[in-house]
């Protein structure tokens, strides 16, 4: 196979996307981003009849792409090319010198406990759809789930001992506790779930209005509608509130499913920032 051949490009990309979605359990959002990035790279190859990566990234940089976007494209394209080389024996350009660009680390947006509790308590539960939305958001905040982890929950994953079994990145399973509130609205959702359930998606916990497994996009829309923010902000809030309450960083790392401790480290910076803000507000000479 050759990267300069359009039909080979389609075959390679189709197989690669299937692997990262179904074997590596990448979220729908990530798979779509990889597909977009790689197709953009293919367009460059087809226009210039060269398969170099560094020049392609340089062109994007001149077109004012942000460093974070460029870094995502570097990661998605180089990972794909390495897979082509190792699995399909496709000749690829030298990419060892292509490294991520340095970016300023942005602290995640975190809601206060009073604020998120107020928002949660104000979500109505007068309809099946509202009950589902409340159960979804309660679970996200209860256990710090990624969107893909929530959408892939099965009915058998929630246990009556206030725990859930979660399939995370890399198909790694972890057992997480859930709050009494989350369990309460989970049960309320079960009582109403049959109103939109279909046999096709009967194993999945959360369903869309048509009765199919709920999508990542729909969950993001629900969170935006009910809380005015994004699901990852709930995950950030979950982690920060645990640390503020005295939880050990290692415990939070396990709960979030982070393999690298440095990924969890950012939440300590958030806690320190909030500590300084509280100090300034409360100290008489702050």
CATH number of the CATH domain containing 36: 1.10.150
> Which are the contacts of 129, defined by CB distance < 8 A and separation ≥ 6?
209
Q: Do 274 and 164 share a structural domain?
A: yes
Q: Do 218 and 123 share a structural domain?
A: yes
State the pLDDT confidence band at 208, using cuts at 50, 70 and 90.
confident
Q: What's the confidence (pLDDT) of residue 122?
A: 94
Give CA–CA dist 170/40, Å, rounded.
Answer: 26
Asked whether residue 271 carries a pLDDT value surpassing 90, the answer given is no
Query: Could you tell me if residue 107 is inside a domain?
Result: no
Q: Do 20 and 121 share a structural domain?
A: no
Query: Could you tell me if residue 200 is inside a domain?
Result: yes
Q: What's the confidence (pLDDT) of residue 280?
A: 63
Residue range 21-30: mean pLDDT, rounded: 84
Residue range 252-265: mean pLDDT, rounded: 77
Nearest to 107 by CA among 245, 230, 248, 274: 274
Q: What's the confidence (pLDDT) of residue 156?
A: 93
Q: Do 259 and 164 share a structural domain?
A: yes
Residue spans of beta strands (DSSP E) within 88-192: 158-159, 163-167, 173-177
More reliable by pLDDT, 187 or 97? 187
Angle at 173 between CA 171 and CA 178, to 5 degrees: 135
Query: Could you tell me if residue 106 is inside a domain?
Result: no
Out of 88, 105, 122, a domain closes at 88
Q: Do 249 and 153 share a structural domain?
A: yes
Interval 92-150: pLDDT, tens: 877 766 666 676 566 567 888 899 999 999 999 999 999 999 999 999 999 999 999 99
Asked whether residue 195 carries a pLDDT value surpassing 90, the answer given is no
Out of 88, 122, 154, a domain closes at 88
Asked whether residue 252 carries a pLDDT value surpassing 80, the answer given is yes
State the pLDDT confidence band at 270, using cuts at 50, 70 and 90.
low
Q: What's the confidence (pLDDT) of residue 106?
A: 63
Interval 234-251: pLDDT, tens: 998 998 888 888 888 888
CATH number of the CATH domain containing 160: 1.10.443.10
Residue range 17-26: mean pLDDT, rounded: 88
Residue with the two structure tokens 């494209």: 73
Query: Could you tell me if residue 98 is inside a domain?
Result: no
| DSSP letter string, 75-86 | HHHHHHHHHHHH
> Which are the contacts of 281, defined by CB distance < 8 A and separation ≥ 6?
none
Q: Do 133 and 250 share a structural domain?
A: yes
> Which letter, b or e, does each residue of 96-116 get, where b requires 16 or more Cβ atoms within 10 Å of its Cβ?
eebeeeeeeeeebebbeeeeb
Residues identified as active-site:
146, 169, 232, 235, 258, 267
Q: How far is CA 232 from the centre of its chain?
A: 7
Q: 156 is in which domain, residue-wise?
A: 113-281
Q: Which residues pair with 90 in a beta bridge?
A: none
Query: Could you tell me if residue 35 is inside a domain?
Result: yes
> Which are the contacts of 285, defined by CB distance < 8 A and separation ≥ 6?
none
Query: Could you tell me if residue 286 is inside a domain?
Result: no
More reliable by pLDDT, 281 or 68? 68
Strands 158-159 and 173-177: unpaired
Q: Do 212 and 259 share a structural domain?
A: yes
Nearest to 151 by CA among 236, 252, 221: 221
Total domains present in the chain: 2
Q: Do 125 and 78 share a structural domain?
A: no
Q: What's the confidence (pLDDT) of residue 249?
A: 81
Out of 73, 88, 103, a domain closes at 88
How much is the mean pLDDT over the chain? 85
Q: Do 266 and 141 share a structural domain?
A: yes
Q: What's the confidence (pLDDT) of residue 115?
A: 92
Over pLDDT 90: what percentage of the chain? 50
Q: Do 211 and 276 share a structural domain?
A: yes
Query: Could you tell me if residue 108 is inside a domain?
Result: no
Q: Do 120 and 71 share a structural domain?
A: no
Q: Do 133 and 56 share a structural domain?
A: no
Claim: this prediction has a pTM higher than 0.85: no
Query: Could you tell me if residue 193 is inside a domain?
Result: yes
């Amino acid at each position: 196979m050759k990267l300069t051949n359009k039909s080979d490009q389609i075959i390679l990309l189709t197989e690669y996307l299937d692997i990262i979605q179904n074997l590596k359990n990448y979220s729908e959002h990530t798979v779509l981003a990889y597909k977009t990035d790689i197709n953009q790279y293919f367009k460059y190859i087809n226009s210039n009849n060269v398969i170099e990566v560094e020049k392609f990234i340089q062109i994007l940089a001149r077109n004012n792409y942000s460093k974070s976007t460029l870094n995502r494209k570097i990661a998605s394209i180089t990972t794909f090319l390495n897979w082509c080389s190792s699995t399909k024996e496709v000749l690829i350009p030298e990419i060892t010198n292509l490294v991520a660009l340095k970016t300023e680390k942005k602290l995640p947006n975190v809601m206060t406990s009073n604020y998120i509790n107020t928002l949660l308590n104000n979500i109505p539960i007068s309809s099946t759809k509202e009950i589902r939305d409340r159960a979804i958001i309660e679970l996200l905040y209860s256990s710090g789930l990624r969107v893909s982890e929530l959408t892939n929950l099965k009915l058998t994953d929630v246990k009556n001992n206030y725990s859930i079994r979660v399939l995370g990145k890399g198909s790694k399973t972890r057992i997480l506790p859930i709050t009494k509130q989350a369990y309460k609205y989970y049960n309320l959702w079960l009582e109403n779930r049959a109103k939109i359930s279909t046999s096709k998606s009967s194993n999945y916990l959360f369903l869309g209005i048509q009765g199919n497994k709920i999508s990542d996009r729909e969950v993001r829309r629900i969170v935006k509608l009910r809380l005015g923010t994004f699901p990852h902000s709930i995950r950030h809030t979950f982690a920060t509130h645990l640390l503020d309450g005295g939880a050990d960083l290692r415990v939070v790392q396990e709960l979030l499913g982070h393999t690298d401790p440095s990924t969890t480290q950012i939440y300590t910076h958030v806690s320190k920032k909030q500590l300084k803000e509280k100090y300034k507000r409360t100290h008489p000479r702050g």
